Chain A
Amino acid sequence: MPRKYTLLINGQSFSVDVEPDEKLLSVLRDELDLTGTKYGCGEGQCGACTVLIDGRAQRSCITPISAASGKSITTVEGLAKEDRLHPVQQAFLDEEAMQCAYCTSGMIMSAVSLLNQKQDPSNAEILQFMQGNICRCGTYPRIVAAIRRASGAMKESRP
């Protein structure tokens, strides 16, 4: 039976009526029309659906809505502050780290989570953290370069 859930997404509160086992991904996309978060596999294997829950990267396609309710959720739509892109978004543009870009939101959200946890990750740490995100176009080296660039930019902007 559908239940009422309150979701805090990108600083805004939403109320939805859905089944408890419905996944966060379909709620975001179908109920709230936040389609920046992508479906890639529905099994937590490709990272296209990555969002931040309380600041940490989570696969929204395997996260039941009941587990996301009441927590702070950030999607790719919530990263930029007004017109100013998040440093990770800007770095993806600067490194042209995309082709079809379908993986891009998931890549960006994973990268933001990594840099939240570790300001200056090593290359090996980047690869390890990002291993669960698939880019079929093969822009991996550019994504690594973008994460390095964003790490540098975020370091500089810190007081």
Chain B
Amino acid sequence: MKQYLANVQGVDGYLIFSMIVFMSFFIGLLFWVLKADKKYIDKMKNIPLN
């Protein structure tokens, strides 16, 4: 099947792009979540119970 793809330009690009997009998205997300303010998090947590 690989030979079909040899004809398609930029398929490698798609694969690498997908991984880069996800990893940077996830690392950014993780960074910000860890930095989040505890008071805010506690407030959000309790919304359904209010």
Chains A and B form a bound pair: no
Where the two chains meet, the residues of A that have a C-beta atom closer than 8 Å to any C-beta of B are none
